[in-house]
């Protein structure tokens, strides 16, 4: 049944005759609606004071790119690198990681096509894979794969470029190149070409992609001579260092010491999950999650910040109930239901939001502090973002534990801060495979 004229007339009359509604209408058309929906009582309770807080750092800025996961990783390891090198400041090159991530994602996509019995562009799988082939996003395991294979280098040996900070154009170029190659591969599949013939074409395509990336981002260094003054004003030189040697020199923990915890109430807790066709390095570390209750993740965060004095990398749905001007992430910061006089958000559980595509991982940041109540439980968390110092509270956010429970989905922590029974599950369980389009893979598609 279509919408009737009677319905339109009644709805219009009801709207126009309500004086409160008219006041709201006049306010909304002349103001930013979020300012009207702000719950002032929630803001009054919000502050940026934390009982346990890591030393202040310079906030980074990913600019117009989706490299949040790489910036969060760089911010995660820079404090330990500064300690190792005994320097006041240090930044790894995110462009270096970005370059190899794009190259490896291209290879991953092409290898996936080669592995399929046919390339049916009407199938849901191919349609999904063609959607965003070389997006800027990624998961923690994908960082590990790049760092394990290529290493790390200081910022000065592969600095930021216009493209690294504004990646839309190069992403479009690479997508078009790979979609064109899909068309070529589709024809080759029909002609029953051999894997050797496919890989010959693949090598030519990857050479072109390497060339394009090098034009935009520069050629990654094979080795470098790193010279600097340390805190004691002493001259230090690390001669003829490869990125892999530099990684081994500066990292306190190898990537194998980390585990990615997720909170996905759609699936059974204390189980291992993965997402099909999610990754960058084709034969690299597989994306693997340990699905646990929020309490387990919060306890690991608490131990890491207090005992290890290190931040924690995490992924969340940052757009939900986020007051950007005050740097507040709180489920009560906006009262949309009262503003619109209808039920919009009440009744949605975390599992419901995931199933209905109302929520998914969109952004990676760092936990850099926690605030404990009288029972030593976390009541809010300090977040280090990568949107520059003009966002939030000088680049930092305050997250309530209620917001964490509803909109945080994953955190990468050291295995030593997990109970033995969970480590055993991680090491012995066969992962449940989620489909490629599952929300648990969404952070790699931003």
- C-alpha 151: how far from chain center: 20
68 part of the active site: yes
Number of Cβ within 10 Å of residue 238's Cβ equals: 16
- C-alpha 163: how far from chain center: 19
C-alpha distances out from residue 259 to 149, 222, 291, 331, 418, Å: 18, 29, 11, 28, 9
- Torsion, Cα of 157, 160, 164, 169 (10° steps): -110
User: Which of 61, 316, 363, 393 does the annotation list as catalytic?
Assistant: 363
User: Which of 61, 68, 171, 323 does the annotation list as catalytic?
Assistant: 68
Q: How far apart are CA 123 and CA 121, in angstroms?
A: 5
Nearest residue to 298 via CA among 314, 319, 284? 314
Q: How far apart are CA 103 and CA 214, in angstroms?
A: 10
64 part of the active site: no
User: Which of 39, 75, 263, 385 does the annotation list as catalytic?
Assistant: 385
DSSP letter at 304 equals I
Q: How far apart are CA 132 and CA 140, in angstroms?
A: 19
In this structure, what token pair is assigned to residue 66? 């989706």
Number of Cβ within 10 Å of residue 138's Cβ equals: 30
C-alpha distances out from residue 290 to 48, 180, 276, 361, 404, Å: 31, 37, 16, 16, 17
Q: For 408-422, give the secondary structure using H, E and C.
A: EEEEEEEHHHCCHHH
Q: Is-contact 250 256, C-beta < 8 A?
A: no
Q: Is-contact 216 161, C-beta < 8 A?
A: yes
Crossing angle of helices 68-85 and 243-250, in 10° steps, is 70
The helix/strand/coil state of 96 is helix
Number of Cβ within 10 Å of residue 65's Cβ equals: 24
Number of Cβ within 10 Å of residue 264's Cβ equals: 21
180 part of the active site: no
DSSP letter at 256 equals G
- By annotation, the residues acting in catalysis are 68, 363, 385
């Amino acid at each position: 049944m279509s919408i009737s004229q009677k319905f339109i007339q009644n709805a219009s009359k009801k709207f126009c005759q309500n004086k409160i509604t008219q006041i709201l209408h006049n306010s909304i058309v002349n103001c930013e609606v979020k300012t009207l929906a702000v719950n002032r009582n929630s803001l009054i309770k919000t502050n940026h004071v934390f009982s346990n807080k890591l030393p202040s750092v310079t906030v980074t800025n990913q600019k117009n790119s989706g490299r949040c996961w790489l910036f969060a990783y760089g911010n995660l390891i820079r404090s330990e690198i500064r300690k190792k090198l005994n320097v006041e400041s240090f930044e790894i090159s995110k462009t270096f990681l970005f370059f190899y991530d794009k190259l490896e994602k291209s290879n991953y996509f092409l290898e996936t096509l080669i592995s399929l019995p046919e390339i049916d562009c009407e199938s849901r799988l191919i349609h999904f894979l063609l959607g965003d082939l070389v997006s800027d996003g990624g998961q923690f395991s994908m960082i590990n794969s790049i760092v394990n294979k290529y290493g790390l280098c200081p910022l000065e040996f592969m600095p930021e470029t216009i493209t690294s900070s504004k990646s839309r154009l190069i992403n479009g170029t690479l997508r078009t190149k790979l979609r064109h190659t899909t068309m070529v591969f589709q024809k080759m599949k029909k002609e029953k070409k051999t894997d050797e013939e496919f890989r010959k074409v693949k090598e030519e395509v990857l050479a072109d992609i390497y060339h394009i990336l090098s034009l935009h981002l520069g050629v990654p260094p094979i080795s470098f001579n790193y010279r600097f003054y340390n805190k004691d004003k002493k001259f230090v030189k690390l001669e003829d260092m490869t990125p892999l040697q530099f990684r081994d020199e500066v990292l306190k923990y190898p990537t194998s010491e980390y585990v990615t915890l997720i909170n996905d109430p759609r699936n059974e807790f204390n189980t291992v999950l993965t997402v099909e066709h999610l990754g960058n390095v084709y034969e690299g570390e597989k994306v693997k999650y340990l699905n646990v209750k929020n309490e387990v993740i919060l306890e690991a965060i608490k131990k890491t910040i207090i005992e290890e004095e290190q931040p924690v990398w995490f992924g969340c749905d940052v757009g939900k109930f986020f007051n950007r001007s005050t740097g507040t992430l709180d489920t009560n910061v906006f009262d949309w239901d009262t503003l619109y006089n209808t039920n919009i958000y009440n009744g949605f559980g975390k599992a419901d939001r995931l199933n209905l595509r109302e929520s998914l991982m969109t952004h990676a940041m760092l936990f850099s502090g926690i605030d404990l109540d009288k029972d030593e439980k976390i009541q809010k968390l300090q977040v280090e973002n990568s949107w520059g110092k003009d966002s939030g509270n000088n680049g930092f956010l305050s997250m309530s534990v209620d917001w964490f429970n509803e909109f945080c989905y994953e955190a990468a922590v050291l295995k030593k801060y997990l109970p033995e029974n969970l480590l055993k599950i991680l090491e012995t369980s066969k992962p449940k495979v989620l489909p490629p389009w599952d929300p648990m893979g969404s952070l790699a598609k931003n």
